[in-house]
């Protein structure tokens, strides 16, 4: 096997494209991935038009002030505003691509809010103009604005509910209200009930008013009881929910580290599978396998040499890539021996799969195509979240992902890079490597020297 490995290394050394792939690729990719993961997401550029005249943005209701201007300022916190002065300018910015969207605060928004609060009619409306050319950009802006608007709506609702609850207390307990600039004393339902109850007690026993006033007292009792609950109920509607999170299973890998793990494992997979498939099919296309197969070297030795070489080179490249990414994203260097173990066994597993594909293909180009065609869907399937598809499809995907190395390699790498033990996943990968090696050995039985069919 030693001479086969040396021979393959000599051949690889004389393939500048391959050498470039193995050396430059991890460097370039780790730089790209590292910069992408370490840079904070930018705010979308949004054209902003506030048509509310200065000094006219306040809404006064029941002694409280609601400032439309401050609500607009909250919205601006989620975007990079490009202030414009006309609707035409806002739309032109969107069409021209300078802004991903335009937000317009209409001049009559304060009046619309006032009408809703005082008469319960109307729907105060903020206008958003979106660029539909790029659906991804549209999603980005839509999400940024929708999230912010939802928060603003919640703030407004909370303020209005506070007003409503306050008014309810005054109806129950009495107080002073502002009517047309005048402060007027309000009796309150409880006091009104006591006054009527006192009047009933003062009436003579046979009085015809006694029964009628008793009904009023009974109604007042019901109203006090009902409205006493209404306050807390309204308050709870206005109060936001508190969500407590519990991590029952799985790793607590940060998102950036997980993304880095994906990048490293995808590269490991592609290089290992393509190299192994290519190295094995080269033996066939060069017709050299015929010489080897007549007893010089056992077929499984040929297979093992390809798997070892491809897996080893791919693991080395992946380690270099992880080292590069660690300059941008936190990867735990104290666990570097686990990195090596995870990537080495992962590389062998991918290489064994690639070698099995190479044994099936007739030439190098077919082997490469087969390796790429298998590897990319494998990666995509393993990355589909369980809740994103139907339960039956999710189960099917889980089975497929279990039988192929990508998910196990990703789990091993992400645990190795952060916390937790990658050993169960490494054991899974080792088993897959053996299984694919056996499949490759079977596939190599059909390798036949070229020209024999012609006799």
Residue 173: burial class (beta carbons within 10 Å; 0-12, 13-18, 19+): middle
Q: How far is the CB of 383 from other proteins (least distance, A)?
A: 37
Coil, strand or helix: which one is 422? Answer: coil
Print the binding letters for residues 241-280 with other proteins: x by CB under 8 A, - otherwise. Answer: ----------------------------------------
- Rank residues 11 and 419 by Cβ distance to other proteins and give the closer one: 11
- Is 297 near other proteins (CB under 8 A)? yes
> Which of 41, 80, 22 is closest to 259 using CA atoms?
41
- Is 455 near other proteins (CB under 8 A)? yes
Residue 81: burial class (beta carbons within 10 Å; 0-12, 13-18, 19+): buried
| Token pair recorded at residue 119 | 């008469």
Q: How far is the CB of 7 from other proteins (least distance, A)?
A: 5
Residue 132: burial class (beta carbons within 10 Å; 0-12, 13-18, 19+): exposed
Q: How far is the CB of 412 from other proteins (least distance, A)?
A: 35
Query: Given the rule CB under 8 A, which of 5-13, 142-150, 213-221, 315-323 is the region that contacts other proteins?
Result: 5-13
In the list 128, 292, 366, 400, the residue contacting other proteins (rule: CB under 8 A) is 292
Q: What is the CA radius of gyration of the chain?
A: 36
| Token pair recorded at residue 381 | 């399937």
In the list 70, 98, 286, 395, the residue contacting other proteins (rule: CB under 8 A) is 286
Q: How far is the CB of 82 from other proteins (least distance, A)?
A: 58
In the list 16, 54, 295, 391, the residue contacting other proteins (rule: CB under 8 A) is 295
Indicate the helix (H) or strand (E) that contains 176: strand 175-179
For residue 101, report the phi and psi dihedrals to the nearest 5 degrees.
-160, 170
Distance CA 103, CA 91 (A): 10
> Which of 184, 178, 187, 188 is closest to 228 using CA atoms?
188
- Rank residues 5 and 126 by Cβ distance to other proteins and give the closer one: 5
In the list 296, 389, 399, 419, the residue contacting other proteins (rule: CB under 8 A) is 296
Q: How far is the CB of 303 from other proteins (least distance, A)?
A: 16
In the list 27, 130, 288, 383, the residue contacting other proteins (rule: CB under 8 A) is 288
List binders of other proteins among 7-46 (CB under 8 A): 7, 10-11, 14-15
- Rank residues 85 and 291 by Cβ distance to other proteins and give the closer one: 291
Q: How far is the CB of 353 from other proteins (least distance, A)?
A: 25
Judge whether 79 and 144 are in contact, CB under 8 Å: yes
Query: Given the rule CB under 8 A, which of 54-62, 77-85, 118-126, 444-452 is the region that contacts other proteins?
Result: 444-452
Coil, strand or helix: which one is 371? Answer: helix
Q: How far is the CB of 293 from other proteins (least distance, A)?
A: 6
- 94-106: burial string, b at 16+ Cβ within 10 Å, e else: beeeebbbbbbbb
| Token pair recorded at residue 216 | 């009023």
Q: How far is the CB of 304 from other proteins (least distance, A)?
A: 15
Q: How far is the CB of 366 from other proteins (least distance, A)?
A: 18
Q: How far is the CB of 277 from other proteins (least distance, A)?
A: 17
In the list 120, 179, 248, 294, the residue contacting other proteins (rule: CB under 8 A) is 294
In the list 95, 176, 291, 395, the residue contacting other proteins (rule: CB under 8 A) is 291
In the list 168, 293, 430, 438, the residue contacting other proteins (rule: CB under 8 A) is 293
Ordered DSSP codes for 44-61: PEEEEEE-SPTT--EEEE
Helices (H) and strands (E) in the chain, counts: 16, 8
Contact residues for other proteins (CB under 8 A)? 3, 7, 10-11, 14-15, 286-288, 290-297, 448-455
């Amino acid at each position: 096997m030693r001479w086969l490995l040396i021979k393959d290394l000599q051949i690889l050394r004389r393939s500048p494209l391959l050498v470039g792939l193995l050396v430059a690729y991890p460097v370039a990719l780790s730089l790209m991935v590292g910069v992408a993961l370490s840079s904070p997401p930018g705010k979308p550029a949004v054209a902003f038009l506030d048509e509310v005249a200065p000094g006219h943005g306040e809404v006064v209701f029941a002694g409280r002030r609601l400032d439309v201007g401050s609500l607009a300022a909250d919205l601006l916190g989620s975007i990079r505003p490009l202030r414009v002065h006309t609707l035409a300018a806002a739309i032109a910015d969107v069409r021209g691509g300078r802004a991903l969207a335009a937000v317009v605060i209409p001049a009559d928004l304060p009046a619309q809010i006032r009408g809703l609060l005082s008469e319960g009619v109307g729907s105060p409306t903020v206008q958003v103009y979106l660029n539909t050319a790029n659906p991804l950009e549209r999603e980005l802006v839509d999400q940024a604005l929708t999230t912010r608007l939802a928060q603003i709506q919640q703030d407004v609702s909370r303020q209005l509910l506070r007003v409503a609850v306050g008014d309810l207390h005054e109806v129950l307990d009495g107080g002073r209200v502002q009517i047309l600039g005048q402060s007027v004393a309000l009796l309150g339902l409880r006091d009104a009930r006591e006054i009527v109850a006192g009047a009933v007690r003062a009436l003579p026993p046979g009085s015809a008013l006694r029964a009628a006033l008793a009904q009023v007292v009974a109604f007042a009792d019901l109203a006090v009881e009902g409205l006493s609950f209404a306050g807390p109920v309204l308050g709870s509607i206005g109060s936001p929910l508190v969500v407590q999170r519990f991590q029952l299973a799985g790793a607590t890998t940060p998102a950036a580290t997980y993304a880095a793990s994906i990048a490293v494992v995808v590269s490991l997979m592609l290089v290992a599978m393509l190299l192994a498939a290519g190295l094995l099919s080269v033996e066939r296309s060069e017709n050299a396998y015929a010489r080897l197969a007549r007893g010089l070297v056992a077929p499984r030795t040929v297979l093992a040499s390809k798997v070892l070489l491809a897996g080893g080179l791919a693991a080395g490249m992946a380690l270099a890539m992880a080292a590069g990414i660690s300059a941008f994203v936190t990867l735990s260097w104290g666990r570097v021996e686990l990195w090596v173990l995870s990537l080495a066994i992962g590389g062998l597993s991918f290489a064994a799969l690639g070698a099995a594909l190479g044994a099936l293909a007739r030439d190098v180009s077919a082997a490469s195509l087969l390796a790429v065609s298998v590897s990319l869907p494998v990666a995509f399937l393993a990355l589909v979240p369980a809740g994103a598809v139907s339960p039956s499809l999710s189960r099917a995907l889980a089975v497929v992902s279990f039988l192929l190395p990508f998910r196990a390699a990703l789990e091993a790498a992400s645990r190795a890079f952060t916390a937790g033990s990658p050993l169960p996943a490494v054991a899974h990968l080792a088993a897959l490597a053996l299984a694919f090696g056996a499949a490759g050995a079977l596939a190599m039985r059909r390798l036949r020297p070229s020209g024999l069919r012609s006799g």
